[in-house]
Amino acid sequence: MDSVSKSGFTLTTSTGEEVTVDETSSTKYEKGTTSTSKSAITKGQHVLVLGTVSSTTIKSTQIIVQATGGSTTSTAASVVPFQKGAATTSKQVGTIPASYTEGSGTIVTGTTAKKATEAALAVYPGGIVDRVVKLSNGEYEVHNIGVNWPHHIFVNQDFKVIGAD
């Protein structure tokens, strides 16, 4: 997190994109897995923001502050930052569900979407998740935008990342 104001804050993603986060009176705050208040958000902390994306602004519905002593280890180096006009990296890692077809599945929300998003961004931080889809085999596809790779992150029923493309 870069700066904090009364109505929100700005942050820089691991891919270098600056994002403005607008908070509302209904925004929920957590530190780790415990409910907290807006005052828990301070400059320099790592956060996960859930909400509605419009360009480089997120209208937040929930903000999760990384708990003290939490792991900051990630595979951010494997995330390919978005560059306008650059060809998309085409690679697959891990397991891609055999029955997966882009655009298939059912949009999920709430706790399920939150858990899948947290799992995906813990392994591949830096993008912005715009939807989570439950696939026919019960696994989830987390749709990651704002990066050239990975665009789809696959999470199993136990909310463990199993693959990406």
72-125 residue pLDDT tens: 344 444 655 555 666 666 678 888 988 888 888 999 999 999 999 989 988 888
- Please report whether residue 82 resides in a domain: no
- Domain count of the fold of the chain: 2
| Average pLDDT score, the chain | 80
In terms of domains, do 15 and 53 share one? Answer: yes
Residue range 50-71: mean pLDDT, rounded: 74
Of 140, 136, 132, the closest CA to residue 157 belongs to 140
Q: Show the beta-strand stretches assigned E in the chain.
A: 3-4, 8-12, 18-22, 28-31, 34-36, 47-54, 57-65, 80-81, 93-94, 106-108, 128-134, 140-145, 147-149, 152-155, 161-164
AA identity, residue 46 = H
DSSP 111: H
Categorize the per-residue pLDDT at 35 as very low, low, confident or very high, splitting at 50, 70 and 90: confident
Both 116 and 160 in a single domain? yes
Q: Is residue 72 part of a domain?
A: no
Q: What share of the chain has pLDDT > 90, as a percent?
A: 23
- The helix (H) or strand (E) run that includes residue 29 is strand 28-31
**Domain coverage including residue 122:** 89-164
- What CA–CA distance (Å, rounded) separates 30 from 43? 16
What is the predicted pLDDT for the residue at 72?
38
Q: Are residues 53 and 102 in the same domain?
A: no
* Residues 119 and 155 occupy one common structural domain: yes
Q: Does residue 47 sit in the same domain as residue 104?
A: no
Q: Are strands 28-31 and 57-65 parallel, antiparallel or unpaired?
A: parallel
pTM: 0.57
Among the listed ranges 9-13, 29-33, 46-50, 86-90, which one has the minimum average pLDDT value?
86-90
